[in-house]
């Protein structure tokens, strides 16, 4: 009893005293890098319960709820109206109430109706069932018929049959079980599917990346099966706060959604404390934990690994044995009953502190807490605020982030606004990932034969996959041709929703009994790097030693161990460019998006100490290379950057490699990424590009669009990267800036100063220096696509006159040879077919290029050396292959010198030209785009009039240096110009005209580059 009294006395402490105590302790105070108060919000209620839910009113009384929050009642009204709904509000804002009300209302109204609840993890199901059962009991007689059941891997066989024959009104399961255990047997679940009205998807934000691609296919399969049984269901989804809940819900289900994201739930003010420890972040975390619990504050610490959870728990108990029964660790390895007990005690206040892995992050209600310690940045804003949402429900609370020595943590601590103001990330997934679709189509076909007229098959991509599956014998086409069947009866067995491709079973042998248990699977994409023999493999935060990797049987044998070490694979990687889909110039670089093939060989591994990361030794491995195709973006460097690094005496690869590491570490600021989601490779000279390059690509086969989502925003990422490295106080690189824990080449070579130089040049913060002439022809940006010209244009003599203006001067990009970096401000064309002018802004550039490709003749003034050179920043199309008449080039050829367009116009047509190129650049800087357009259009008009004059009179006029106005012979008849341009296209420039090829990589680059290819230093 004494303990209980003490507890009450302690509870009088508040967060203010915690903050005060921190400031009186030297070590804590020195590590405190930032402190601010996050304002609270008062609750917004809506008194009226929507009419359709009146029968559920007793539940409100039971939960001591007088009025619903505004977001709850808005959500219920939308559900009542039959909309698909996604509710994306903070942790503990009452999302569960909303979907439970939706399901219970259906069950009360019609006992034949059914609801399906999907949770991403088994652990979450129990909590939900309990809560539903409480609710049902509370509703009394009216709800006595309503049954709730969990159907998952733990459900005994005897019970499974019963559930199928007499399905509960509310069935709780996981996507994995729906995929492998329910949909394949839907015929025996007839009663359930016939009545299916509501599909609840909780933790929607977890269905992203490759898991999201799988779930998107799974939910389409669910829809087909429900449809087969005559049902059409309504979706009710709940998500953590993300930037795009509606978009994600639509991608996953293929349906339109209403979004409710403005929370009416109250929020107390919270103290945000950011710590940058000089020593171990874990001992600092343990110190804060003791301090907070000692003050009587209910405290939760989130760590990123089970080992750390145990370590902190152990240190706290050692330092303060009295706390032994008042604190606990909490992690995935615990039995469900143990976890329930911890949750209960925490909820009741019997426990004062918990050290947890991310296991507590998801929906389990542990009541309101006072202090949340984040030991290391949880990896996303979404996860950060979800964890932080555990505190501050009823009184002021504190959130402390203890930075680990890695780049992202350090960046956030020195840029706290990024944490408080950047906003939530996008959850990115690709519902059309071809590899995933190819895995699910045979599954769908066993459930209900695929029919040619199904809407979801109505896309060229899906049809192509079906054709491939038919060729490969996985799908069999019906004799009538209108249906496809699966060749195998249970293709579901070979498809895991958590990965792509073949998987390896992870098998652990019990040391005493010798009993073998499969604890999980790992995808073939990662098995060599994580489960090679000798690796220490983490599974749900537990350590295992890999004793054997059996490639034939696809089994990884492991045994549990406790080790103060970890291992890290050393690899060599190559990327091959398969297609280039889009490109554009950035500051001092060009960025390209396309498909790549990544080939990786694990050559050995390192053993390192967990604390301090000291290298203990390396061992070689002999494993075959693996490869996969994915989607990526890459930065192509102009040669001036490596040259500048060399001139400055810096390490070229060290600079590029370090830039890649740091940029990769900041990727999670922009999109919800997990480990393996995005990877990178650096080259001083990529054999297909002929220049230095950095690749970022999706780490999963087929890709999900994560790397590609940075195509338009790469400058923001590079800018943050440059800040991160420049601000790091280390001398020549450390884990907080340019060292990557995942580096395949052991962080060698790395040159921190060179990385800053590289990034500043890329971002054009520093001008590109003069190019040093190198031997041989000037390297050109590569051309992998064939000509854009369509020679069989049906309408003869379509002439397009064309001129463009740029955003930057030649000087600003290091000289005319970098015209491809000058960026188009706008372009104007005049089309003789439509007799119209057309203006193209930078975002229309690809349309412009297409338009030029439609012409029988493109007419410009200096178009070959200038306009096309600028456009080369955006395209790989070989513009020189276009049938082109360059008036300036023709004049130069005849006279041996050049004449200005304005001069020709004045002397030939008697009109004077307003403005010039410099004027146009100035207008661009002032944002006067209209002026540029007017000016550019005028040039095009002059061009049209000059050519017309030439074709009518056979000459133009100009004035010599001596002052004589003379004729310039101009025998320019359009049909002849076209003929000549096409003839030239056929021979003279044929070394640059290349046939269109699906895979650019199949073509050898010219011989002179082959010897210069430098073996890539690869990574991550």
Q: Which residues bind Zn ion (CB under 5 A)?
A: 728, 730, 734, 736-737, 743, 1019
Cα dist. 353→25, 123, 272, 284, 407 in Å? Answer: 21, 21, 19, 16, 29
- The least distance separating Zn ion from the CB of residue 674, rounded to whole angstroms, comes to 19
Where do we find the tokens 């090829």? Answer: 997
Nearer to Zn ion, 382 or 737 (CB): 737
Tokens of 502: 């073949």
Q: How far is the CB of 278 from Zn ion (least distance, A)?
A: 14
Q: Is 454 exposed, middle or buried (0-12, 13-18, 19+ CB in 10 A)?
A: middle
What is d(CA 64, CA 78) in angstroms, rounded to the nearest whole number?
Answer: 24
Least Å distance, CB 749 to Zn ion, is 9
Neighbours of 766 (CB within 10 A): 15
The 3-state secondary structure of 167-228 reads: CCCEEEECHHHHHHHHHHHHHHHHHHHHCEEEEEECCHHHCCHHHHHHHHHHHHHHHHHHHH
SS3 call for 989: coil
Separation in Å, CA 1004 to CA 690, 783, 926: 12, 12, 46
Q: Which is nearer to Zn ion, 384 or 571 (CB)?
A: 571
CB nearer to Zn ion: give 316 or 734.
734
In whole angstroms, the minimum distance from the beta carbon of 730 to Zn ion comes to 3
Q: What is the enclosing helix (H) or strand (E) of 620? A: strand 615-620
Q: Which of residues 243 and 730 has its CB atom nearest to Zn ion in the complex?
A: 730
C-beta nearest to Zn ion: residue: 1019
Q: Give first-to-last CA distance, the chain, whole Å.
A: 55
Tell me whether residue 416 or residue 741 sits nearer to Zn ion (CB atom). Answer: 741
Distance (Å, whole) CA 114 – CA 105? 11
CA distance 192 to 149: 12
Read off φ and ψ for residue 573, nearest 5 degrees: -135, 155
165 or 732: CB nearest Zn ion: 732
Q: How far is the CB of 659 from Zn ion (least distance, A)?
A: 11
Shortest reach from residue 753's CB to Zn ion, in Å: 11
In the complex, the smallest distance separating the C-beta of residue 524 from Zn ion, rounded to whole angstroms, is: 23
Residue pair 356/381 in contact (Cβ under 8 Å)? The answer is no
Reference 568, options 535, 601, 527, 599; nearest CA is 535
Q: In the bound complex, what is the minimum distance in angstroms from residue 616's beta carbon to Zn ion?
A: 20
To Zn ion, the closest distance from the beta carbon of 52 in angstroms equals 58
Supply 716's token pair: 């923001």
Residue 496 vs 571, nearer CB to Zn ion = 571
Would you mind telling me the total number of residues written for the chain in this entry?
1020
Nearer to Zn ion by Cβ, of 805 and 1020: the residue is 1020
CB of 663 to Zn ion, least distance (A): 11
Nearest to 50 by CA among 38, 63, 67: 67
Nearer to Zn ion, 750 or 819 (CB): 750
Token duo for residue 373: 């310690």
The rounded distance, in Å, linking the Cα atoms of 373 and 297 is 12
Six token digits for residue 458:
């109505």
Minimum CB distance to Zn ion, residue 279 (Å): 16
Tokens read off for 503? 């998987």
Nearest to 169 by CA among 83, 235, 230, 110: 110
Answer for the pair 385, 367: CB distance below 8 angstroms, yes or no.
no
Q: State the minimum distance, in angstroms, from the CB of residue 610 to Zn ion.
A: 20
Nearer Cβ to Zn ion, position 329 or 747?
747
Nearer Cβ to Zn ion (695/935): 695
Kind of pairing, strands 693-698 and 270-275? unpaired
In the complex with Zn ion, the residue whose CB is nearer, 708 or 728, is 728
Nearer CB in complex with Zn ion: 486/1019 = 1019
Report DSSP letters for 778-789, one per residue: PP-----S----
Work out whether strand 371-375 and strand 353-356 pair parallel, antiparallel, or are unpaired. unpaired
| Nearest-approach distance from CB 308 to Zn ion, in angstroms | 22
């Amino acid at each position: 009893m004494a303990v209980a009294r003490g507890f009450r006395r302690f509870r009088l402490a508040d967060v203010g005293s915690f903050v005060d105590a921190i400031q009186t302790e030297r070590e804590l105070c020195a590590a405190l890098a930032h402190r601010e108060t996050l304002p609270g919000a008062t609750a917004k209620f809506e008194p009226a319960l929507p009419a359709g839910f009146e029968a559920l009113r007793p539940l409100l009384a039971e939960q001591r709820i007088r009025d619903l929050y505004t977001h709850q009642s808005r959500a219920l009204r939308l559900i009542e109206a039959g909309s698909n709904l996604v509710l994306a509000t903070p942790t503990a804002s009452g999302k569960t109430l909303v979907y439970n009300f939706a399901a219970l209302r259906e069950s009360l109204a019609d006992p034949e109706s059914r609801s399906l609840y999907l949770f991403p993890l088994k652990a979450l199901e129990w909590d939900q069932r309990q809560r539903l059962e409480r609710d049902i009991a509370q509703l009394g007689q009216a709800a006595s018929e309503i049954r709730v059941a969990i159907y998952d891997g733990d459900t005994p066989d005897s019970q499974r049959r019963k559930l199928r024959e007499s399905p509960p009104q509310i069935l709780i399961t996981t996507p994995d079980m729906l995929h492998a255990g329910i949909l394949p047997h839907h015929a025996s679940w007839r009663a359930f599917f016939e009545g299916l009205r509501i599909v609840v998807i909780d933790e929607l934000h977890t269905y992203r990346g490759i898991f999201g691609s799988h779930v998107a296919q799974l939910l389409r399969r669910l829809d087909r099966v429900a449809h087969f049984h005559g049902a059409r269901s309504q979706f009710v989804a709940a998500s953590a706060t993300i930037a795009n809940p509606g978009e994600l819900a639509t991608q996953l289900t293929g349906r339109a959604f209403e979004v409710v994201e403005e929370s009416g739930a109250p929020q107390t003010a919270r103290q945000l404390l950011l710590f940058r420890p000089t020593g171990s972040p874990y001992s600092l975390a343990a110190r804060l934990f003791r301090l907070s619990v000692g003050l009587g504050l209910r405290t939760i610490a989130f760590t990123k690994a089970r080992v750390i959870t145990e370590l902190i728990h152990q240190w706290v108990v050692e330092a303060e044995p009295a706390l032994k029964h008042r604190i606990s660790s909490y992690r995935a390895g615990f039995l469900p009953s143990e976890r329930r007990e911890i949750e209960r005690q925490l909820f009741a206040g019997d426990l004062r502190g918990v050290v947890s892995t991310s296991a507590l992050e998801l929906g389990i209600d542990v009541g309101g807490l006072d202090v949340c310690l984040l030991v290391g940045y949880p990896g996303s804003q979404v996860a950060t605020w979800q964890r932080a949402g555990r505190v501050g429900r009823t009184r002021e609370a504190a959130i402390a982030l203890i930075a680990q020595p890695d780049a992202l943590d350090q960046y956030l601590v020195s840029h706290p606004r990024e944490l408080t103001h950047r906003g939530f990330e996008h959850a990115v997934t690709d519902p059309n990932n071809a590899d995933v679709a190819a895995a699910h189509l045979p599954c769908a076909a066993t459930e209900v034969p695929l029919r040619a007229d199904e809407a979801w098959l109505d896309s060229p991509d899906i049809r192509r996959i079906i054709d491939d599956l038919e060729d490969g014998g996985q799908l069999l086409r019906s004799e009538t041709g209108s249906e496809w069947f699966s060749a195998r009866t249970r293709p579901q067995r070979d498809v895991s929703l958590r990965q792509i491709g073949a998987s390896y079973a992870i098998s652990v042998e019990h040391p005493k009994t010798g009993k073998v248990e499969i604890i999980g699977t790992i995808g073939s994409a990662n098995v060599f790097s994580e489960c090679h023999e000798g690796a220490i493999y983490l599974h749900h935060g537990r350590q295992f030693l890999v004793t054997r990797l059996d490639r034939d049987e696809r089994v990884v044998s492991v045994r549990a161990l406790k080790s103060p070490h970890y291992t890290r694979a050393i690899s060599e990687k190559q990327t091959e460019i398969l297609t280039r889909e889009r490109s554009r110039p950035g500051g001092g670089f060009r960025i390209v998006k396309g498909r790549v093939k990544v080939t990786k060989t694990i050559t050995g591994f390192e053993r390192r100490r967990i604390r301090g990361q000291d290298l203990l030794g390396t061992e070689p491995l002999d494993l075959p290379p693996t490869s996969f195709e994915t989607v990526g973006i890459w930065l192509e460097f102009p040669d001036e950057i490596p040259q500048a690094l060399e001139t400055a005496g810096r390490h070229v690869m060290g600079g590029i490699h370090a830039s890649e590491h740091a940029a990769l570490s900041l990727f999670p600021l922009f999109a919800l990424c997990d480990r393996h989601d995005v990877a990178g490779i650096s080259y001083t000279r990529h054999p297909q590009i002929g220049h230095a390059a950095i690749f970022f690509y999706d780490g999963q086969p087929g890709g999900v669009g994560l790397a590609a989502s940075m195509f338009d925003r790469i400058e923001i990422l590079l800018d943050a990267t440059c800040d991160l490295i420049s601000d790091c106080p280390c001398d020549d690189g450390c884990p907080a800036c340019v060292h990557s824990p995942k580096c395949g080449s052991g962080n060698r070579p790395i040159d921190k100063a060179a990385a800053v130089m590289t990034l500043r040049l890329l971002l054009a913060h520093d001008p590109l220096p003069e190019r040093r002439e190198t031997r041989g022809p000037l390297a050109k940006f590569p051309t992998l696509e064939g000509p854009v010209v369509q020679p069989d244009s049906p309408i003869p003599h379509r002439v397009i006159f064309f001129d463009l203006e740029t955003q930057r001067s030649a000087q600003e990009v290091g000289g005319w040879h970098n015209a491809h970096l000058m960026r188009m401000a706008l372009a104007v064309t005049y089309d003789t077919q439509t007799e119209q002018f057309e203006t193209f802004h930078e975002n229309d550039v690809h349309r412009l290029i297409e338009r030029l490709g439609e012409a029988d003749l493109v007419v410009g003034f200096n178009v070959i050396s200038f306009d096309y050179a600028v456009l080369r920043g955006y395209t790989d199309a070989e513009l020189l292959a276009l049938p082109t008449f360059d008036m300036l080039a023709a004049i130069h050829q005849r006279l041996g010198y050049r004449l200005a367009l304005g001069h020709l116009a004045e002397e030939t047509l008697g009109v004077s030209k307003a403005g010039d190129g410099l004027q146009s650049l100035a207008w661009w800087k002032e944002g006067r785009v209209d002026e540029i357009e007017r000016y550019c259009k005028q040039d095009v008009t002059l061009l049209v009039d000059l050519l017309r004059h030439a074709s009518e009179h056979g000459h133009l006029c100009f004035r010599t240096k001596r002052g004589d106005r003379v004729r310039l012979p101009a025998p320019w008849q359009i049909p002849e110009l076209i003929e000549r341009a096409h003839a030239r296209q056929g021979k003279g420039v044929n070394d640059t005209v290349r046939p269109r090829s699906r895979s650019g990589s199949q073509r050898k680059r010219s011989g002179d580059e082959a010897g210069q290819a430098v073996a890539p230093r690869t990574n991550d």
